[in-house]
Structure 1
Amino acid sequence: MTVTEPTDVAPDATPDATLDAAVAQEAPAAPETAPKNPRSRKLLGSVLRWAAAVVVCGGLGAGTAAAITSMERTDVPGLATENDGRWAYPKLSLPPLPEGSPRPFTIGNEGEVHHADLRALLLPAPAGATVDPKLDGVWVSVDQYVSLYSKDERPELKQAFDDSALRHITARAWTMPDGTKSAVYLLRFKSVAFSEHFKDYAVHAGTAATTPLEGIQSVGTEALGNDARVPDTVQYATAEKEPYGPEQTRWAYIQAGDTLALVVQSRKGEAAPVPFQQTVTLQNQLLG
């Protein structure tokens, strides 16, 4: 829109022109026009551009929030692979459920049962890993599992399995180029009550009396970051304390309804904490 500048009255204007000017002064004031000063115009333009930017950013932020909150439950958010030691895991997704079966933590699933194939809930190996062909999403016997623990503990653990309504054990293991050895075991019981009882009274997860793994003498609890937390699940991490010989071991239990997971990592020298937390977190997400 073109704004017409008001015309000044000349000194030699006629009486009629002076009257017209007086009438114009009494008339309602015209809307304010843009500042005549070029510097003021520049400032105003900057303000308008910033205002537009705020509106655009606000729209983008709202769009991003909408996208995050509308994620499908079958999409499992992973941890980015960065130069801090994290591994490149493949994109994760939850396996399909049998028709009409609820997820473990939905209303009506009192036993918090995982109805999906337990082997499909195992974390896949990351890029660059050499997978153990004998432990690649296969069923594992009780004897195989209890062999992870010290010999003195095995008879008691076997009896605990007999008393705990165990259904299945499955596992996957791999070795990374830096020598880190990883293994994930999933133990499914008849219900969350049996799973919790085994966790509390057989392996004593999260306590100073936790059942030691084979060859480990001294252990201490380890804190995992907030990223590792998943609603409806609980995790307990443990690290071997010095002196621990040629290699160090870290392990964690994940209590997720009827399923108890065991994640074990060891490496010559020190088992790095970053990939350990990443592995525990992603396995936890698959179970939650």
Structure 2
Amino acid sequence: MTDQQTAPPAPAEPTEAAPAIASPAITAPAIASPAITAPPIASPAVPDAPRPPRRALRAVARWTAALLVFGGLGTGTALAITSAERTDVPGLATEGDGRWAYPELSLPALPAGSPRPFTDANHAEIHHADLRKLLLPAPAGATPDKTLDGGWVKPERFLAEYRAEDRDELAQTLVDTPPRHITARGWTMPDGTRARIYLVRFDSTAFATHVRDALRFGLPEQRQLAGAQVTEFDATATFSRAVQGVVTYLHTEQAPHGDAHTRLAYSLAGDTLALIVHERPGKAEAARIPFHQTVILQNQMLG
């Protein structure tokens, strides 16, 4: 794209990822980074000021079946993803690569004077936008879940995602660190894959981090989803650059799986914790590329 500004080269990234957050409860690393890097998206000097049209938001993730690239969604308000080439945007399907055809995405407008979550003007990393508008829409061809339609949901609905023996302790955690809002959307794809996304916003990043720790990633007593057997960190996913401020933990169900294969991700974005689930009934695994695509796009909305 000829109008994109050239950014200084990104610093070399390590071949092995360090732990995402220094927390005694989290022992496994966040997503590892390969040598290939995507150019960063320029941020405006004033977070709440509108950006000129020629600096409109661009997603620059280039996809193949073997390599996924984390691109940034940008930092303006009410800015749409624009691109001259369909293959530049992970939300637009290209025949044969397995991606889902997500609609064009845009960030919601912010209240006057409110900064985006990961800017110098927002040290608390608070999301000021309506959380429901930060929820990824369903892709083309999806059958919407009428019970998870993008509106507000109660904590009990979120807790129902976990196996019965884990719910009481998690429920107490949500009493001790109550969520400010929970929103969710679900859908089913033609191949039977069931997708669900929950965004849980708390009063502070400390509360969100506390709930993340209560999920006990990587520990023998890790909280498991209802219907899944045992999930573990998925070390096969590599991305060149994470969305600024968003830390993601990818999991996949171990073999042999049960009646459905499950992939899930937790993304911690300041005051908000996201749970992203793909389940595919039958013997086949839930497809990797559309799952990674969903995680990337949801992270971009939160960043």
What displacement does 1:206 show? Answer: 5.2
User: 266-275 vs 73-82, which deviates more?
Assistant: 73-82
* Aligned residue in 2 for 1:42: none
What displacement does 1:164 show? Answer: 1.1
SS of the aligned residue for 1:263 comes to strand
The verdict on how the C-alpha distance between 1:63 and 1:144 changes in structure 2, with shifts beyond 3 A counting, is closer
* Aligned residue in 1 for 2:190: 177
The verdict on how the C-alpha distance between 1:62 and 1:140 changes in structure 2, with shifts beyond 3 A counting, is closer
The answer as to whether partners of 1:206 and 1:236 remain within 8 angstroms in 2 is no
The verdict on how the C-alpha distance between 1:178 and 1:193 changes in structure 2, with shifts beyond 3 A counting, is same
Greater C-alpha radius of gyration: 1
- Off by >6 Å, runs of 4+ in structure 1: none
The answer as to whether partners of 1:228 and 1:284 remain within 8 angstroms in 2 is no
- Partner of residue 193 from structure 1, selected from 202, 206, 211: 206
Counterpart of 2:290 in structure 1: which amino acid?
P
What displacement does 1:64 show? Answer: 4.3
Could you say what the CA RMSD is over the residues aligned between the two structures, in angstroms?
A: 2.0
* Aligned residue in 1 for 2:119: 106
Higher helix share: 1
TM-score between the two structures when normalised by the length of structure 2:
0.70
SS of the aligned residue for 1:92 comes to coil
For 1:131-170, list aligned pairs within 5 A.
131-170=144-183
How many angstroms apart in 1 are the aligned matches of 2:243 and 2:231? Answer: 25
> Which runs of 5 or more structure 1 residues have no equivalent in the other structure?
1-60
The answer as to whether partners of 1:167 and 1:188 remain within 8 angstroms in 2 is yes
SS of the aligned residue for 2:181 comes to strand
What displacement does 1:110 show? Answer: 2.6
1:246 equivalent to 2:231? Answer no
How many angstroms apart in 1 are the aligned matches of 2:219 and 2:302? Answer: 22
The answer as to whether partners of 1:111 and 1:193 remain within 8 angstroms in 2 is no
> Which runs of 5 or more structure 2 residues have no equivalent in the other structure?
8-40, 43-54, 58-75, 83-88
The verdict on how the C-alpha distance between 1:221 and 1:263 changes in structure 2, with shifts beyond 3 A counting, is same
User: Which string of whole-angstrom CA distances, capped at 9 and with x for unpartnered residues, describes residues 99-122 of structure 1?
Assistant: 111111122323211010010000
- Partner of residue 288 from structure 2, selected from 273, 285, 288: 273
- Partner of residue 110 from structure 2, selected from 80, 94, 97: 97
The verdict on how the C-alpha distance between 1:157 and 1:140 changes in structure 2, with shifts beyond 3 A counting, is same
Counterpart of 2:205 in structure 1: which amino acid?
V
TM-score between the two structures when normalised by the length of structure 1:
0.74
User: Which string of whole-angstrom CA distances, capped at 9 and with x for unpartnered residues, describes residues 26-67 of structure 1?
Assistant: xxxxxxxxxxxxxxxxxxxxxxxxxxxxxxxxxxx7644469
The verdict on how the C-alpha distance between 1:258 and 1:225 changes in structure 2, with shifts beyond 3 A counting, is same
SS of the aligned residue for 1:162 comes to helix
How many angstroms apart in 1 are the aligned matches of 2:136 and 2:116? Answer: 18
The verdict on how the C-alpha distance between 1:228 and 1:134 changes in structure 2, with shifts beyond 3 A counting, is farther
The verdict on how the C-alpha distance between 1:71 and 1:225 changes in structure 2, with shifts beyond 3 A counting, is farther
Instruction: Count how many residue pairs are aligned between Structure 1 and Structure 2.
Output: 227
User: 225-234 vs 99-108, which deviates more?
Assistant: 225-234
* Aligned residue in 2 for 1:229: 242
The verdict on how the C-alpha distance between 1:209 and 1:98 changes in structure 2, with shifts beyond 3 A counting, is same
